[in-house]
Amino acid sequence: MSKIGLGVVGVGTMGKHHAENVRYRIPEAQLVAVADADGDRARRVSSELEVAHYYDSPAGILERKDVQAVVIASPAKFHASHIQACARAGKDILCEKPMALTLEAADAALETVAEAGVILQIGHMRRYDPAYADAKRRIEAGEIGDPIIFKAVGRDPELPAPIYFQSGSNGMLFLDSTIHEFDLARWLMNDEIVEVQSFGTLRGFPELAQYGDLAAGVVNLRFARGGIGNAESFRQATYGYDVRTEIVGSRGTLCIGRMRKTPQLVLTQGGASHQVVEHFLARFAEAYLSELRDFVQTVQKRKIPGVTGQDGRRALAVALAAQRSYQESCPVAVPGDSGRVQKSAP
């Protein structure tokens, strides 16, 4: 089977990592070109990865006949329009979360994808993490009985750089961070979130108010079949990158996640210590690689992706409902799927 020609749009921290995986770790794919609104950055990444072609917009990649699929890792504000541009060019798509910043934009993107008959996979990579994938298998096997409670913690070690907030190109906390927990909640509970109630704070970080963002948030969840849940997000834990999830079932409980970088524990007169995971690319390195491998295989075999566009839309709907709940200080029902999009995969 011939290699899949891939282009990467947006080569900041996340996009460059995807490009490196394609270039060095996925023999079934070939990195043909990269693009970034910062042309100098695109040139540097192209040179570092020894890729011949680079552009300062997606258009250059989309015009290439040797590119069959595109990884979108541009700022969230541009995801929906880039999905549409790729679909119209006949390219299969792996798009980082969130797939859009509004449901209207998400629906327009899904319609374009359906009309073009291309594949769209959304980058909720935690589903590909070995620990989470094993938890899913155990739940489906009935090991903990009927899932009843979902609990999640997502804490970053430090705030993003000021430009992240100043650019206006990224969603607020619930869309940028907690959306991972919302996708996991749907997937692990095998149920839809129908109502949310959110609480947020700027305590300790009042400067975020000017950007309409939060330092921390807690979202209570209600599921269609009676399950309940809670998801916490915090932007500056300081001690490390901390992602943990717990599923409480009728016959048992699963706890997923760890902070330890290595199994080593140091015991001295001063106390006990261990190294912590410092960055999301370290904690989920295997997940990102497995996600991209699965996408390449999906393109080769023309199968339904592991995380569909509708999955991306549903997680987005929960995140937007959580944002509204915080802003209006009340519970908010999560809207269902749009009836306008009939086709979920080629």
pLDDT tens for 232-268 read 999 999 988 899 999 999 999 999 987 666 666 666 6
Q: What is the pLDDT of residue 265?
A: 62
Give the CA distances from residue 316 to residues 91, 131, 174, 320, in Å, rounded to whole numbers and listed in that order: 23, 24, 9, 6
Q: Give the pLDDT band (50/70/90) at residue 283.
A: confident
Q: 248 and 147 in contact (C-beta within 8 Å)?
A: yes
Mean pLDDT on 266-293: 82
Q: What is the pLDDT of residue 282?
A: 83
Q: Give the pLDDT band (50/70/90) at residue 270.
A: confident
Q: Give the pLDDT band (50/70/90) at residue 340.
A: very low
Q: What is the pLDDT of residue 1?
A: 62
- Cite the residue boundaries of each domain of the chain with CATH code 3.30.360.10: 130-283+315-333
- Cite the residue boundaries of each domain of the chain with CATH code 3.40.50.720: 4-126+287-311
Q: What is the pLDDT of residue 332?
A: 98
Percent of the chain with pLDDT over 90: 84
Q: Express each pLDDT in 321-332 by its tens digit.
A: 999 999 999 999
Residue 87 has pLDDT above 80, yes or no: yes
User: What is the full DSSP assignment across 111-136?
Assistant: HHHHHHT--EEEE-GGGGSHHHHHHH
Residue with tokens 């048992």: 252
Q: 109 and 48 in contact (C-beta within 8 Å)?
A: no
Q: What is the pLDDT of residue 260?
A: 67
Query: What tokens were used for 251?
Result: 């016959």
Residue 346 has pLDDT above 50, yes or no: no
Residue 159 has pLDDT above 90, yes or no: yes
Fold of domain 130-283+315-333: Dihydrodipicolinate Reductase; domain 2 (3.30.360)
Mean pLDDT on 48-60: 97
Q: What is the pLDDT of residue 342?
A: 37
Q: Please give the Cα distance from 260 to 241 (Å, whole number).
A: 10
Q: Does domain 4-126+287-311 have CATH number 3.40.50.1820?
A: no
Residue 339 has pLDDT above 70, yes or no: no
Closest CA to 220 of 196, 191, 201: 196
Closest CA to 39 of 7, 10, 68: 10
Residue 82 has pLDDT above 80, yes or no: yes
Query: What tokens were used for 269?
Result: 């007169």
**Identity (one letter) of the amino acid at 21?**
N
Q: What is the pLDDT of residue 261?
A: 66
Residue with tokens 């932007």: 235
Q: What is the pLDDT of residue 302?
A: 96
Query: What tokens were used for 321?
Result: 């409902």
Q: What is the pLDDT of residue 344?
A: 39
Q: What is the pLDDT of residue 341?
A: 42
51 CA to centre of own chain = 26
Q: What is the pLDDT of residue 214?
A: 96
Q: Please give the Cα distance from 297 to 28 (Å, whole number).
A: 8
